[in-house]
Copies of this chain bind each other. A is one copy, B any other.
Amino acid sequence: MSSAWKTYQQEHQERFLNEMMDLLRIPSISAKSEYKADMIRCAEAVQKSLRAAGCTRAEVMPTAGYPVVYGERIIDPTKPTVLVYGHYDVQPPEPLELWHSGPFEPVIKDGKVFARGSADDKGQFYMHVKALEVMDKTNSLCTNIKFLIEGEEEVGSPNLAAFVAANKSLLKADVILISDSAMLSLENPSLDTGVRGLSYIEVEVTGANRDLHSGTYGGAVANPITILAQMIASCHDENNHITIPGFYDDVVEASVDERALINRAPFDEKEYMRELGIQALWGEKGYSTYERTGIRPTIEVNGIWGGYTGEGAKTVLPSKAYAKISARLVPNQSSEKITEKLLQYFQSKAPAGVMVKASLHHGGEPYMTPIDSKGYKAAAKAIETTFGKTPIPVRGGGSIPICSILEKELGIKIVFMGFGLDNDNLHSPNEKYNLENYFKGIETIPYFHKYFAES
């Protein structure tokens, strides 16, 4: 069977790539309302591709926001069903000036395809579409397959919970399979055992009711940038431990064994720094890099702005300053509780001379998956088959807010089988996806279905 898969894939390799690139040409930016038409166009393209790949049902289904694309291929209701989750929306491409080629004009260079969404997540969910085609055309489908491809992951999946709750029987399955994360490397394949949760807020600090002359008023009226900087600075202590009251209350400390396992994953500190162009690492004292990005919660400022930011100099004491700030959460922190603490913190830290408005963008719960489940074992075996190595279980640093809701609503576990790499420039200029990873993913996925069906 496996040789038939390989032969089919090799014969259609060029088309598999071109189809993925066509999808990358659609600027499906969910955060920006002016891309609405492109979002719909992208959903329709995904639907078409599902049908072409062998889905007997493929629909663009409405939500209160951007639609969900649903597809299914049921071969036998008594066989196990795999639900593939992915998302067709992408992050905004800014800052545009740092891209070496257009974010929505995919180019191939050095064996990588460069475009927004190439790794996150179009290139990755499309591996599953093509894996279906491979299995279908080689008459080797051994599970039922369902696809749930949403359009609002990058804005926190605000409408997916309601969609899932309303379509429980449609989405009924035995396991959820997600390729929206990374592995350590092709040489050291890994499987994520969880994702961090998220609380994403925006803070607006207002001083005077208008911009002021910094000479006339400077020193006598609170500067909202200074105040905001003070609030941000005080989020971490000198050990980069977060100081927000109660922030760590619900954190389940990783066990000695788990920390040892995490730190057994190969990590070349020099190469890590060289690749990022930094002279030193940074982070919470007492934890390694993988621990800092895996088992520890963090707070990052994602954006800040206020005052005069143009060419030259302007001596202004601004009226307003803003920041976008997000926390990554670990078990058993609750996104709702942490959001509350963050909002409370920023609102209460302000001196009387300014007003603070802090509001939630979106959030999501942390999620952990067991490594002794049928799904995880099938994924590990599939990786072993095509990579020749047992995958290392690692904690992913990113967030897929919908995970905990999917498990709760559908009552099944999630398996994270990501084929990206940490240096894919997710959410950054020059996002890329290695062609080798793309094709290796299409090669590996059918084995997951095979082993899951057999287990």
Contact = CB atoms under 8 A, between A and B. Distances in A.
Interface string A207-227: 111111111111111110110
Interface centre among A98, A315, A317 (most CB of B within 10 A): A315
A353 interface: yes
Interface stretch (A65-73, A231-239, A372-380): A231-239
Contacts of A301: 223, 225-226, 229, 306-307
A92 interface: yes
Interface stretch (A38-46, A123-131, A406-414, A425-433): A425-433
A54 interface: no
A276 B209 contact: yes
Contact of A98 (B98, B211, B217, B228): B211
Task: Report the copy number of this chain in the oligomer.
Answer: 2
Interface in A377-433: 396-399, 422, 425-430
Given A214-B326, A316-B428, A422-B216, A232 B221 contact: no
Contacts of A354: 278
A311 interface: yes
A297 to B, nearest CB: 8
Interface centre among A196, A202, A304, A321 (most CB of B within 10 A): A304
A77 interface: no
Chain A interface helix/strand/loop/mixed: loop
B276 A94 contact: no
Contact of A94 (B213, B310, B324): B310
Contacts of A214: 300, 302, 326, 328, 427
A315 B207 CA distance: 27
A114 interface: no
Interface centre among A95, A207, A314, A353 (most CB of B within 10 A): A314
Given A219-B284, A302-B313, 7 more contacts: A32-B312, A213-B398, A228-B229, A230-B232, A233-B233, A302-B307, A302-B318
Interface of A: 30-33, 91-92, 94-95, 98, 154-156, 182, 195-196, 198, 200, 202, 207-223, 225-226, 228-230, 232-236, 276-284, 289, 292-293, 296-298, 300-318, 321-324, 326, 328, 351-355, 361-362, 396-399, 422, 425-430
20 contacts: A33-B311, A94-B310, A156-B313, A196-B215, A211-B425, A212-B428, A214-B302, A216-B397, A218-B298, A218-B328, A219-B283, A219-B300, A220-B282, A220-B293, A230-B232, A230-B236, A232-B233, A282-B353, A308-B324, A315-B399
